[in-house]
Amino acid sequence: EPEVTQTPSHQVTQMGQEVILRCVPISNHLYFYWYRQILGQKVEFLVSFYNNEISEKSEIFDDQFSVERPDGSNFTLKIRSTKLEDSAMYFCASSVPWGAGEQYFGPGTRLTVT
Amino acid sequence: ELKVEQNPLFLSMQEGKNYTIYCNYSTTSDRLYWYRQDPGKSLESLFVLLSNGAVKQEGRLMASLDTKARLSTLHITAAVHDLSATYFCASRRDDMRFGAGTRLTVKP
């Protein structure tokens, strides 16, 4: 069964450093998303991406964040200058249509900022 | 601003019992999602409800949507231990908003 994959599973970085989280969505999916979940808290939407551009983003997704689909398979989330409060689990998801479609989540990347 | 509230936040129930988790959302939205999350794991999509009156069932779980009341319910029938997990609802308007989650524990 196709699945969303994410790398790395755990990333430790120092405050102020740049990190890139990687995702490979399901191959025939058209919409891609990033979410984050601070430990023990609810899931928060960051951004959705379609047709090589951001379709929607939340207030969390400020100028420190960017997304890219550098090739036909990868979907990346970059955090330019990490803060302590960026420590969280980051989930990538993909779906066929946005909204109506079922979203398939990857296993997540645990980001720890020290 | 779309707000999504779930209750209860914690639910401990015995095997074989029935219970309902409630999800209220604050503004117009006709797309409601239910997810399951096991500890330390990712989210698993359970249901996508698209229209008023929608009802979907999978095994011991049944979800419904009342867009006029801005309410979705997740009903658990004859709970079993394997259903122990955290259940999130989420609603989409301009973006996706998640509820705080209901941590369900089913005891033998």
Residue A100 has pLDDT above 70, yes or no: no
Residue A48 has pLDDT above 80, yes or no: yes
Query: Does residue A54 sit at the B interface (CB-CB below 8 Å)?
Result: no
CA dist., res. B37 & res. B54, Å (int): 23
* Angstroms from B24 CA to nearest CA on chain A: 15
Q: Is A4 helix (H, G, I), strand (E, B) or coil?
A: coil
Q: What is the pLDDT of residue B23?
A: 97
Q: What is the pLDDT of residue B30?
A: 61
pLDDT tier for residue A99 given thresholds of 50, 70 and 90? low
Contacts of A107 in chain B (CB under 8 A): 41-42
Give the mean pLDDT of B54-60. Answer: 94
Q: What is the pLDDT of residue B92?
A: 84
Q: Per the CB < 8 Å rule, is B43 touching A43? A: yes
List pLDDT tens digits, range B60-89: 999 999 999 999 999 999 999 999 999 999
Instruction: Give the bridge partners for A74, in sequence order.
Output: none
Instruction: Give the bridge partners for B14, in sequence order.
Output: B107
List pLDDT tens digits, range A16-34: 999 999 999 998 898 999 9
Give the tokens for residue A73.
């398979």
Specify the amino acid at residue B59: G
Q: What is the pLDDT of residue A98?
A: 63
List pLDDT tens digits, range B15-50: 999 999 999 998 877 689 999 999 989 999 999 998
